[in-house]
């Protein structure tokens, strides 16, 4: 019977710290460091192939999944662990690369690690596109705040309608600040906003083009039957979650997104708090924004009717049940005195359940 070698790798940009536990041994049979370049990959793969049954693990981090893909391509089983779910001992106050590598190998052997699903290169590229757009959105929002606060400090506040409209920009461009230095800051802020908006528009165009690809179009069309879910939201769900069939139940997906209540209970005492906010923050933001659409009275307008037209009846039935259930829940919670923000998060949790149901019928 072959002996399993449990190998933990502490992955960093400058070096890998590697520890190997042979079978049930408590102390590492070998520890060494490797520089993560082509020579380092050849050395690591060559050593792993000499072992009878290697099992490799490292934690997800900024270095990505290149190590995972190279080792699996070489026929060596490799896993990636979720770092936020790696067990921690409260009394252990010493952290080094060597100790982390040994800990990963030991936890892999005991089954105490939570392993993540590594996206394929195509979906990871799509995720880069979606997250790049989100980064530009944040930069645009920050630039908008800087402009409005600059004007407010100089006594200018727009009171004739909503900001960022054509009339608003006509008002901004007419402003002349008394100090030349301040006027330079204003001109640069206006220029920055224009650049960020153009960049965001380009990202939106690229995402719309990607959504028309044959591998993504059925998934986007299916999710778009839900109120509040359009192309960008559906592509975010696709890029971040992938195939929803890997979640055994809707509550499991809710927990993965972090919209379930946190709890601290002991004995006969039960204490529940706000949502855990664990898991994917990008998906959590998208579904909470979509949940606000269920606040108002449900009306099947032209846009939502066109999105549901020609879709399988099973998907339309799911969307209609979602409309009734979430609108009723939103109103019941707010009528009991709950804040609308709390009601939106509660509706987002149930919206994820309907997203999961659609994901069982269509998948990327």
Q: What's the full length of the chain, in residues?
A: 364
Q: What is the pLDDT of residues 259-305, one digit of tens each?
A: 999 988 888 888 888 999 988 999 999 999 999 999 988 888 899 99
Backbone angles phi, psi at 123, to 5 degrees: -70, -30
Q: What is the pLDDT of residue 1?
A: 62
- What percentage of the chain has pLDDT greater than the value 90? 89
Number of H helices, E strands in the chain: 13, 7
Answer yes or no: is pLDDT of 136 > 80.
yes
Burial of 355 (0-12, 13-18, 19+ CB in 10 A): buried
Candidates 26, 30, 33; CA nearest to 7 is 30
- What percentage of the chain has pLDDT greater than the value 70? 99
Q: Where are the domains positioned within the chain? A: 4-110, 121-211, 218-359
Q: How far is CA 355 from CA 150, 193, 293, 294, 364, in A?
A: 42, 35, 15, 15, 14
Higher pLDDT among residues 363 and 358, named by residue = 358
Answer yes or no: is pLDDT of 238 > 90.
yes
Rounded Cα gap, residues 135 and 149, in angstroms: 21
Answer yes or no: CATH 3.40.50.2000 is held by domain 4-110. Answer: no
């Amino acid at each position: 019977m072959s002996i399993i070698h449990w190998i933990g790798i502490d992955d960093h940009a400058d070096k890998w710290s590697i520890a190997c536990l042979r079978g049930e041994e408590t102390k590492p049979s070998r520890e060494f460091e490797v520089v993560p370049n082509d020579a380092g990959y050849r050395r690591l793969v060559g050593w792993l192939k000499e072992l009878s049954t290697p099992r490799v693990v490292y934690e997800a981090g900024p270095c990505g999944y290149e190590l995972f893909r190279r080792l699996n391509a070489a026929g060596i089983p490799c896993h990636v662990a979720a770092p936020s779910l790696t067990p921690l001992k409260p009394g252990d106050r010493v952290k080094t690369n060597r100790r982390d590598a040994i800990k990963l190998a030991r936890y892999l052997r005991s089954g105490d690690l939570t392993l993540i699903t590594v996206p394929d290169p195509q979906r990871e590229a799509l995720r880069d596109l979606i997250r790049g757009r989100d980064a530009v959105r944040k930069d645009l929002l920050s630039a908008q705040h800087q402009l409005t606060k600059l004007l407010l400090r100089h006594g200018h506040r727009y009171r004739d309608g909503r900001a960022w409209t054509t009339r608003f920009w006509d008002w901004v461009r007419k402003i002349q600040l008394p100090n030349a230095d301040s006027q330079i800051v204003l001109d640069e802020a206006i220029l920055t906003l224009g650049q960020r908006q153009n960049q965001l528009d380009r990202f939106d165009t690229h995402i719309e083009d990607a959504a028309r690809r044959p591998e993504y179009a059925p998934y986007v069309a299916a999710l778009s039957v839900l109120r509040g879910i359009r192309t960008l939201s559906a592509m975010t769900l696709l890029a971040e979650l992938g195939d929803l069939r890997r979640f055994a139940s809707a509550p499991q997906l809710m927990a993965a997104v972090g919209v379930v209540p946190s709890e601290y209970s002991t004995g006969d005492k039960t204490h529940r708090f706000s949502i855990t906010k664990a898991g994917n923050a990008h998906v959590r933001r998208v579904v909470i924004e979509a949940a606000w659409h269920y606040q108002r009275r449900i009306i099947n307008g032209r846009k939502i009717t066109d999105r549901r037209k020609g879709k399988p009846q099973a998907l339309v039935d799911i969307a209609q049940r979602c409309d009734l259930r979430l609108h009723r829940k939103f109103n019941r919670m707010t009528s009991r005195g709950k804040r609308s923000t709390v009601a939106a998060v509660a509706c987002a949790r149930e919206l994820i359940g309907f997203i999961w149901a659609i994901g069982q019928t269509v998948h990327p």
